[in-house]
Chains A and B, each alone.
Chain A
Amino acid sequence: AQSVSQHNHHVILSEAASLELGCNYSYGGTVNLFWYVQYPGQHLQLLLKYFSGDPLVKGIKGFEAEFIKSKFSFNLRKPSVQWSDTAEYFCAVNAPGYSSASKIIFGSGTRLSIRP
């Protein structure tokens, strides 16, 4: 079955620590990959996306993600987190060709808590 896995359910870090959140997906072939963020009390919004080209993608607020096709992974990174990064982070994948109509599937999310 098609799936997106985020293995870290809750991550707690101190300010200035480095961050890496894992995301793995179960499709082969061409994919579009996304990371979305949901700050407390706010809409879900796009953090970054990968469609093609350079597998290292830079997003808003200093976040980046690396697409590693051989590992079916799209991990999110930030070198130095801030208290304002406290939020829930969702990985999502669009993989056409695996069903009658392509759809965007989300992982279960990772809650990130930053200690000031």
Chain B
Amino acid sequence: DGGITQSPKYLFRKEGQNVTLSCEQNLNHDAMYWYRQDPGQGLRLIYYSQIVNDFQKGDIAEGYSVSREKKESFPLTVTSAQKNPTAFYLCASSIFSGSFHGELFFGEGSRLTVL
């Protein structure tokens, strides 16, 4: 079935360690996104990419890094520089036409806990 696959679903990390969250899509979408969801704060945009080998910072990019080497994949690295990394991370994709994004399709999310 077509969709977005995020892994791992749950992840525990010690302080000072980097961790990479995987996101793969088989919807042939050009655009991919990473959001962070915290209670009472909605979804905040970390990074997004409209095309392979290009990506832009969102509103809360500090302490995160991404790559977009393939259309299907958009991994997110949570670095030790991220001050408050414990959160629920959502990956999404959409078509991108002209300057508009279409409907977002979301993965199941990855819950990261820093011990």
Residues of A within 8 A of B (CB): 6, 9, 32, 34, 36, 43-46, 49, 51, 90, 92, 94, 96-97, 100-109
Contact = CB atoms under 8 A, between A and B. Distances in A.
Contacts of A92: 43, 104
A62 to B, nearest CB: 19
A101 B48 CA distance: 10
A100 B104 contact: no
B66 interface: no
Nearest to A104: B101
A104 B42 contact: no
Contact of B48 (A32, A103, A107): A103
A50 to B, nearest CB: 12
B27 to A, nearest CB: 14
A112 B33 CA distance: 26
B43 A94 contact: no
B42 A44 contact: no
Most chain A beta-carbon contacts within 10 A, residue among B41, B90, B106: B106
Interface in B74-115: 90, 92, 94, 98-101, 103-104, 106-108
A104 B107 contact: no
23 contacts: A6-B42, A32-B100, A32-B101, A36-B104, A43-B106, A43-B107, A44-B43, A44-B90, A44-B104, A45-B106, A46-B104, A51-B100, A90-B43, A92-B43, A94-B101, A100-B56, A103-B45, A103-B101, A104-B94, A105-B45, A106-B42, A106-B45, A108-B40
Given A43-B108, A101-B50, A101-B56, A106 B103 contact: no
Report, nearest first, the 5 A-B pairs whose CB atoms are least far apart: A96-B99, A108-B42, A106-B43, A44-B106, A109-B42
